[in-house]
Amino acid sequence: MLPVKNCFHSLMIDGTVSDFSETQQDLFSKTCLEQFYSRPIGQYGYCLGQVFEPYVLAEVAQLSNMRRNTMEKTLPDSSKLFLELRTLVENSASAAIPDITNTASALVSLSRFELAQKLLNRIPNDQMSVRDAFELAMLEFIIANRLDDRPMMARCYDTMQQCLMTDQIPPHRALSAASSAVVWHMKVQFLSDAGYRWFEALGQKLSRDPDKVDAGALSSWYRGIAMVPAARGDRSGTRDYMLAAYAHAQEAIDLRPTYYELNLKKTYFESTLKEHMYVTRDYDAARDVATALLELDPIWSASHGEVAECHAAFANFEAAATSFETAARLGPPYFAHHLFAAGQMWERAANEDRAMEIYNFLHDFEPANSSVIVAGARLAKKTSGTSARSFITALEGLGSLSNEQRAYLDNVA
Give the tens place of pLDDT for each residue, 366-404.
Answer: 998 999 999 998 898 887 666 667 887 888 888 777 777
Q: How many other C-beta atoms can be found within 10 angstroms of the C-beta atom of residue 79?
A: 18
The per-residue pLDDT for range 50-88, each reduced to its tens digit, is: 999 999 999 999 999 887 777 777 788 879 999 999 999
Is residue 277 assigned to a domain?
Answer: no
What pLDDT, on a 0 to 100 scale, did the predictor assign at position 396?
80
The domain boundary residue, chosen from 123, 155, 189 = 123
Tell me which of 123, 144, 176 is where a domain ends: 123
Confidence category of residue 412, pLDDT binned at 50, 70, 90: low
Considering the domain boundaries, does residue 41 fall inside one? yes
- Last residue within a domain, chosen from 123, 141, 174: 123
Q: So what's the pLDDT on residue 386? A: 66
Cβ(130)–Cβ(168) under 8 Å? yes
Residue 26 in domain: yes
Give the alpha-carbon dihedral of 189, 192, 193, 197, to 10 degrees.
Answer: -90
- Give CA–CA dist 389/386, Å, rounded: 6
Q: Mean pLDDT over all residues of the chain?
A: 94
Asked whether residue 374 is domain-assigned, the answer is: yes
Neighbours of 163 (CB within 10 A): 24
First to last CA, the chain: 28
Share of the chain above pLDDT 90, in %: 86
Work out how many domains the chain is built from and give that number: 2
Q: Model pTM? A: 0.94
In this structure, is residue 75 part of a structural domain? yes
**Does 185 fall in a domain?**
no
Provide the percentage of residues in the chain whose pLDDT is more than 70: 98
Residue 283 is assigned to a structural domain of this protein: no
Domain extent, residue 402, equals 351-413
Please tell me the predicted confidence (pLDDT) of residue 410: 74
pLDDT score at 335: 98
Grade residue 407 by pLDDT with cuts at 50, 70 and 90. Answer: confident
In a domain, residue 174? The reply is: no
